[in-house]
Amino acid sequence: QANNASSSPTHTLICYKIFFTEAIFHAQELRASPIRAKPNKSTTRTIMFGGNPDSGTNLNNRYNSYQQGGSGSYVPPATTYAEKQTNVVANSLQTQHQAEEKAGAVLSQMHAQRHQLQGANDEAYKTRQVTEQARREMAEIKAKYRQKKMRLYIIIAVLSIVDFSMLLRMIRCGGSFFC
């Protein structure tokens, strides 16, 4: 509460006064006890920060670390810095190899797709050529059809003229072709 930004200076001074009063009170209790045990760091810290040294509880646990184990002896970290760095390098190499494998797989897929696209392009080119050839042949057939149609119109016209002339001759000769 002493570090609270909303507290007044008077409130802060009262909190400090209570804090120091409790610390002095606990120190006097330790001196008055029949067994004069030398306080260790955790007991002093517990007294200073409002804990109960008899119960072993500490109200402010931010000072607990792996160095303050239950027996008070030093407990080294599980791995050293060199081991950690070795693991980091090994993980990096493994990641690099996985990335290279995936890149190789992607490149082979892209190569196969390139061949598929080239094959599709060749087929499309052949189809365009066939379509163009079919268009030319259709144009030739259409031209031949027009020519035959014109010949038939000419034949029809010639036969119509011959038929009309025969009709006139029959009318002039009285029903006979020979007059």
Question: Would you write out the chain's pLDDT as a tens digit for each of its 179 residues?
Answer: 444 444 555 555 565 556 666 666 656 565 555 554 444 444 444 444 444 445 444 444 455 554 454 555 666 667 788 888 899 999 999 999 999 999 999 999 999 999 999 999 999 999 999 999 999 999 999 999 999 999 999 999 999 999 999 888 888 888 776 77
Give the pLDDT score at 174: 81
Give the pLDDT score at 143: 96
The C-alpha atoms of residue 38 and residue 31 are separated, in whole angstroms, by: 10
- Name 13's Cβ contacts closer than 8 Å, sequence gap at least 6: none
Give the pLDDT score at 169: 87
* Beta carbons of 28 and 20 less than 8 angstroms apart: no
Give the pLDDT score at 60: 47
In this prediction the pTM is 0.38
Give the pLDDT score at 83: 86
The C-alpha atoms of residue 178 and residue 162 are separated, in whole angstroms, by: 15
Return the closest-CA partner of residue 54 out of 30, 79, 90: 30
The C-alpha atoms of residue 73 and residue 92 are separated, in whole angstroms, by: 36
Rg of the chain over Cα atoms, rounded to whole angstroms, equals 56
